[in-house]
Amino acid sequence: MSELDHVGIAVPNLTEALALWRPITGGTESAPEDVPSNRVRVVFFTVGGTHIELLEPTEPGSPIARFLESRGAGVHHLAFHVPSVDRALQEVAERGGKLVDRVARPGARGRRVGFAHPTAFGGILVEFVEGP
Amino acid sequence: MSELDHVGIAVPNLTEALALWRPITGGTESAPEDVPSNRVRVVFFTVGGTHIELLEPTEPGSPIARFLESRGAGVHHLAFHVPSVDRALQEVAERGGKLVDRVARPGARGRRVGFAHPTAFGGILVEFVEGP
């Protein structure tokens, strides 16, 4: 069984989004973190056994900026905790699923991460997150 | 702090969606349940401390059928566990947020549930789920 590590939500403005979500999530938020490889600034809330990640684009034309332009603010991806990102990606490919990343790369919070293509999960962008 | 009770995913076909998600979620799925008040058939997976709900519309023109027509398969809502749905809805209204439900109504799994309007959380449809 995989655990849901977090739900990633694309937001145009982190400060405004934090004000909306704090009444639900309480005072559980992480310090904002820049993730240059994805051109985003992120904050994580702890919500029970999982997390909500708010993602604000740091550059026009970046993946989150383009998502916001085409679909508006909303859930961008679901991230599952796996023992090995490389193996999880390989298993998706072996089932015939398309991948965004063929192998793991550095993500937020110092974790190794990798994305399948949305078509591999019926329209949902799935991220795999490794350890601890 | 609120806990994330589940992530609701709208799918056109429950059987096909189950085949896609089982490799990630393992053998943790509930029996399919019809929720006539929402005109959906649902299945819940356990993914760590939270759940994924797959929602298949049972009627054309129902809310999930319309969501699928306009946006395609994807995350439909995020549900948070609260001690009182009525109070959670009232707190959203007091902050100036719009509501779908003014008071709790019967949902899946025999729970009392209620929805805020997506505008109340920056474009995300939020459900509150009560006890146990």
Q: Where are the domains of chain A?
A: 3-130
What residues pair up with A7 in beta bridges, in sequence order?
Answer: A52, A78
Strand partners, A123: none
**Residue A89 with chain B: CB contacts under 8 Å:** none
Total-model pTM: 0.94
Round the average pLDDT of chain A to a whole number and report it.
94
- 0.85 surpassed by complex ipTM: yes
Given this model, what pLDDT does residue A14 score? 96
pLDDT digits (tens, 9 = 90+) for A54-74: 999 999 999 999 999 999 999
Copy the structure tokens of residue B11: 């799918």
Instruction: Please report, as a single letter, which amino acid is at residue A13.
Output: N
pLDDT of res. B38: 86
Segments of chain B scoring below 70 in pLDDT = 1, 132
Cβ of B7 and A78 within 8 Å? yes
Question: Is residue B46 a contact partner of residue B3, using CB atoms and an 8 Å limit?
Answer: no
Residues of A in contact with B4 (CB under 8 A): 4, 7, 47-48, 50, 52
B2/A48 touch (CB, cutoff 8 Å), yes or no: yes
Q: Summarize the confidence of residues A83-97 as an average pLDDT.
A: 96
Nearest to A107 by CA among A26, A51, A48, A68: A51
DSSP chain A: --EEEEEEEE-S-HHHHHHHHHHHH-S-BPPPEEEGGGTEEEEEEEETTEEEEEEEESSTTSHHHHHHHHH-SEEEEEEEEES-HHHHHHHHHHTT--BS-SS-EE-GGG-EEEEB-GGGGTT--EEEEE--
Distance of CA A21 to the CA centre of its chain: 17
Cα B80 to Cα B2, B17, B115: the distances in Å are 6, 23, 10
Tokens of A89: 């990606």
Band the pLDDT of A131: cuts 50, 70, 90.
Answer: confident
Give me the pLDDT at residue A1, please.
57
On whether any CB of chain A is under 8 Å from the CB of B50, the answer is: yes
Reported CATH class of domain A3-130: alpha beta
Verify whether the Cβ–Cβ distance B2 to A24 is below 8 Å: yes
pLDDT digits (tens, 9 = 90+) for B21-53: 999 888 789 999 999 888 999 999 999 989 999
CA distances to A99, B3, B44 from B22, in Å: 18, 24, 11
